[in-house]
Amino acid sequence: DTAVSQTPKYLVTQMGNDKSIKCEQNLGHDTMYWYKQDSKKFLKIMFSYNNKELIINETVPNRFSPKSPDKAHLNLHINSLELGDSAVYFCASSSNIQVAGELFFGEGSRLTVL
C-alpha cells in the first residue's frame, strides 16, 4: 500500500486551463503539505493543513486553491494555468505540526503547461 499517493502522475495542458491534483495518505497523519519543485530541483512549501485547517499559506498566487475534505486528503486546484506553473508538485504528510518529525512524500505530479 502506498503511504502517500497523488494523481495524476503526469499532466500536460494548455495555458488558461484549470486542473486539479489529488493526494491521499493512509498513515493516519494529521498534517499534509503541498510543495513545488522547479526545474532546478528547488523545493518550496506552498500550503500546509493540520486536521483539515489551513495553517501555512506561503506567497502563492490565488489561482492555486487547496482543499482538504478530511485529514487524509489534500487536493490542489489550479485555475488559469500559466507557463510558469510547469513544475513537479509533491504532496507530503507528517504526524502532527507540533512534532518536528519527518515528512513522507508522494511520488510527485509533473505538470507541463504548453
Partner 1 sequence: GDSVTQMEGPVTLSEEAFLTINCTYTATGYPSLFWYVQYPGEGLQLLLKATKADDKGSNKGFEATYRKETTSFHLEKGSVQVSDSAVYFCALRVINNDMRFGAGTRLTVKP
Q: Taking the complex as a whole, how short is the minimal distance between the CB of residue 6 and partner 1, in angstroms?
A: 9
Q: Taking the complex as a whole, how short is the minimal distance between the CB of residue 3 and partner 1, in angstroms?
A: 10
In whole angstroms, give the CA distance from residue 8 to residue 11. 7
- Residue 76 · residue 64 · CB < 8 Å: yes
Binding residues (CB under 8 A) for partner 1: these are 4, 33, 40-43, 45, 48, 56, 90, 92, 94, 97-108
The Cβ-side half-sphere exposure at 26, using a 13 Å CA radius, reads 5
* Residue with smaller CB distance to partner 1, 79 or 96: 96
* Residue with smaller CB distance to partner 1, 46 or 81: 46
* Residue with smaller CB distance to partner 1, 14 or 59: 59
Q: Residue 91 burial by CB count (10 A; 0-12/13-18/19+): exposed, middle or buried?
A: buried
